[in-house]
Copies of this chain bind each other. A is one copy, B any other.
Amino acid sequence: MEKVGIGLVGYGTVGSGVGRLLHESADEIRLATGKEVTLRTVCELSPQRRALAPPGVRTTADFADLVNDPEIDVVIELIGGIEPARTIQLAALTAGKAVVTANKQLLSQHGAELLQTAEDHGTFLRFEASAVGAVPVIKVLRESLAAAQITGVMGIVNGTTNYILSAMAQSGAEYAPTLARAQELGYAEADPTEDVSGKDAAAKMAILASIAFHSRVTLADVEHEGIAAVTDVDVAHGRQLGLVPKLLGVAKLIDGRVNVRVYPCFVPGEHPLAGVSGAYNAVFLESETFDSIMLFGPGAGGTPTASAVIGDVISIVNTAPGGYIGNCTCYKALDFYPGADVVSRFYLRVQVADEPGVLAAIAGVFGQEGVSIHSMQQTGAEDSAQLVLVLHPVREAAFFGALSRIAALPAVRSHPSVIRIEGQDDR
């Protein structure tokens, strides 16, 4: 039986998960590929981690030992970050080896260079685990749905923020103590910035949008907004409106142009994304061909991510030799569609002085700016009142124009809370 040698760079949580799965699932992998897929060498700087490599597997601290080994066919890079990961991947690809990685930072910033290098050397670059952990969204987009014209991708692609927002929705608690609790429980890191700012989600959305729209979207192209400004008051108002808070990555193909953003928003309670709670991830795909498809599962974790890495290895081994490599799915350089021109639905909460004429003033501004109100609710508290408005779909520039005028009205007490509403049918 033909042999396939694996070189693994980085033997942390995911790396050791890959090592274990390659061993435990050897029978299944043999059946799925017709080949003997074996972990040959682990490259790892830390001697402690190196010592964890399975018996019979060679270890090294120098990635050149992998790149120069003719018996290594696939290099799996799991160290993350830009360098030295980029150098290692480029060296492996240039040596004609296939590369599998979970590195979202690198792919979302240098994907085009890496894919081109793979293509130039007739080999594969696969990165399923960089997007949604165990959930094979990239493979489904690239292969199963290749003939479907995808028009939208909505993703809950960050487990930490989904855990926090789900907990806020369930408990009614505020953001800060919920984050602290998530940190205690290990759902949020000590420095949660990357997650709560939406940057992690933005990197994943750049990758997903590139594949879904066959375009080139990098991290820098994805505007992102985090969840720190989501208040318990808004979450409670959302609940009364049947809406659930989510941090969504939203990628849209509008008139042949691409808009990719990450922001906190409300989705209707009956939308499939609303039921994705806790640390789970989900990606909701829209297309005229199939209406909508959602993939749901654990977005992180050593073993789930390792499972996605092995799925990529199997895919490569199954395709080679002779099969189509197809790295360059990102072949159209599509223009970007400005966020200001996107038509969105908005939820808006304004704290106003409880005095005559305030509502008329706000409604008047919206009317002048062509913004149409879908529903309005007023609740009083002492001398101030709270207005909660849901607007009809509106061009964002018009909405934000009106908003800045409203925020400047003398009767408006604090900066309005604004949350987009996604996933609602146009009825």
Contact = CB atoms under 8 A, between A and B. Distances in A.
A55 interface: no
Given A146-B32, A149-B25, A311-B143, A304 B291 contact: yes
Given A144-B139, A147-B29, A323 B326 contact: no
Contacts of A133: 290
Interface string A325-337: 1101101000000
A296 B277 CA distance: 16
B289 A21 contact: yes
Nearest to A34: B324
A381 interface: no
A131 to B, nearest CB: 12
Number of copies of this chain that the complex holds: 2
Contacts of A290: 133-134, 297-298, 303-304, 307
A47 B314 CA distance: 45
A56 B277 CA distance: 51
A307 B272 contact: no
Given A270-B275, A303-B290, A139 B143 contact: yes
A33 B314 CA distance: 18
Interface in A287-306: 288-298, 301, 303-304, 306
A331 B31 contact: yes
B311 A317 contact: no
Nearest to A296: B294
A68 interface: no
A242 to B, nearest CB: 13
Contact of A293 (B144, B296, B306): B296
Contacts of A33: 146, 324, 326
A136 interface: yes
A191 interface: no
Nearest to A17: B289
Contacts of A275: 270-272, 274-275
Contacts of A301: 291
A318 interface: yes
B324 A322 contact: no
Nearest to A133: B290
A128 interface: yes
Contact of A32 (B142, B149, B295): B142
Contacts of A28: 146-147, 149, 214
Contacts of A317: 324
B143 A326 contact: no
B329 A32 contact: yes
Interface in A275-292: 275-277, 288-292
B272 A147 contact: no
Contact of A147 (B25, B291, B328, B331): B25
Contacts of A291: 134, 297-298, 301, 304
A238 B322 CA distance: 55
A318 B316 CA distance: 11
Nearest to A32: B146
A321 interface: yes
A6 interface: no
B314 A146 contact: yes
Contacts of A140: 136, 139-140
A21 B147 contact: yes
Given A139-B144, A291-B297, 8 more contacts: A31-B329, A32-B146, A147-B307, A275-B275, A291-B298, A294-B296, A294-B297, A318-B326
| Top 10 A-B pairs, shortest CB-CB distance | A322-B322, A136-B144, A293-B297, A144-B311, A32-B146, A25-B147, A275-B275, A134-B290, A294-B296, A147-B310
26 contacts: A28-B146, A28-B147, A29-B146, A31-B214, A31-B326, A32-B326, A32-B329, A34-B324, A128-B144, A133-B290, A134-B148, A136-B140, A139-B139, A143-B311, A143-B314, A144-B314, A145-B311, A271-B275, A290-B297, A291-B298, A294-B294, A294-B297, A295-B295, A318-B323, A318-B326, A322-B323
